[in-house]
Structure 1
């Protein structure tokens, strides 16, 4: 018993030093050499700072809307809903989102709605939407802001992040950055 206790105590002390000390300093040191010293991707616009790497809610008709969030965009509580695709509550929530999207975009069809417009990401904080989702919303935004669809297409193209090395991952668009650029485009027109 005494031998087992001492072994457990030694293992506990080694783990404490490694994981609470050494590992922490390695991660901290790596963060310091990263862009923005590990403090997140901060964008400053009109005197306010925003984290572009955390999803945010945009619901006004004149903006590109974000992916739904299972955690109401609360970065302190990242996580998904943990409901399966056949869960009746989950299906009702997705149906409600589809109905809302069709009301906001009356010229679009149900079958044209991209999946990322009605399903939350695993973290609930995804700051990106697909190019398909951005293009799906163009007509509504063009109508609301009195902007040509061709101008919005150019804006979307200019703010699309391509796959890493042209191979890994899908094309995606940061919604915050896109909406800030949309506001600047609108201000430049007037």
Structure 2
């Protein structure tokens, strides 16, 4: 009996060591060596402090900052754990709203957002990504059109020339991966950090 069981035990222990320990350590080591920033979560630092990740959006409030896409992520309601409350960019609960095009709640929310954005900039059409959520709810990027749309509001709040703010946007447009995959985009956190830096130099 023991003679038959022993090989099975040895194989389980061996495979556990290989797939559960050796392989993850090897992959992590290679990733750290070849892609150190990505392996650490693509963290963005400012003055030696981590302020976010290039891969996860965060909520920016106030007219002086560029805003990202709406986020439909939620978290447990502190008052009732059986319910959820809105929690934008909650990385622990990534996901979309699952509301379809016939949903009145979705239509009302989009209409309300469009009205707010038109009040900010009536001279341009509202880019779709400023009123629609992404499938993950964590999208850190917006389209160049969405960034340019916000320039008048940001420039007014910062008391900066619109051309200077528009130049910051243009400088931070990332192209398609390998020139063919994805769409041009602007990382909102990186843009806002550049905006803070530029604004501090003008005051």
TM-score interval, smaller chain: 0.7 to 0.9
1:20 is displaced (CA, Å) by 5.2
Distance 1:47 1:57 in 2: 21
Aligned-partner SS, 2:50: strand
Distance 1:142 1:67 in 2: 20
Aligned to 1:68: 70
Aligned to 2:145: 132
Matches within 5 A, 1:3-152: 17=16, 24-25=24-25, 27-32=27-32, 33-36=34-37, 38-50=39-51, 51-71=53-73, 72-103=88-119, 105-108=120-123, 112-152=125-165
TM (normalized to structure 1)? Answer: 0.81
Q: Which has the higher helix share?
A: 1
Deviation digits for residues 10-49 of structure 1 (CA, Å, limit 9, x no counterpart): xxx7xx8587567645653453332326221111224531
1:82 is displaced (CA, Å) by 1.2
1:120 is displaced (CA, Å) by 0.7
Distance 1:99 1:115 in 2: 13
RMSD between superposed Cα atoms in Å: 2.4
| Moved segments of 4+, more than 6 Å | none
1:86 is displaced (CA, Å) by 2.1
Tell me whether 1:166 sits opposite 2:179 in the alignment. yes
Tell me whether 1:184 sits opposite 2:189 in the alignment. no
Unpaired runs of 5+ residues, structure 2, are 1-7, 74-87
Distance 1:121 1:19 in 2: 34
Q: Which has the higher strand share?
A: 2
36-45 or 123-132, which deviates more? 36-45
TM (normalized to structure 2)? Answer: 0.76
Contact 2:121 2:152 in 1 (8 A): no
Aligned-partner SS, 2:142: strand
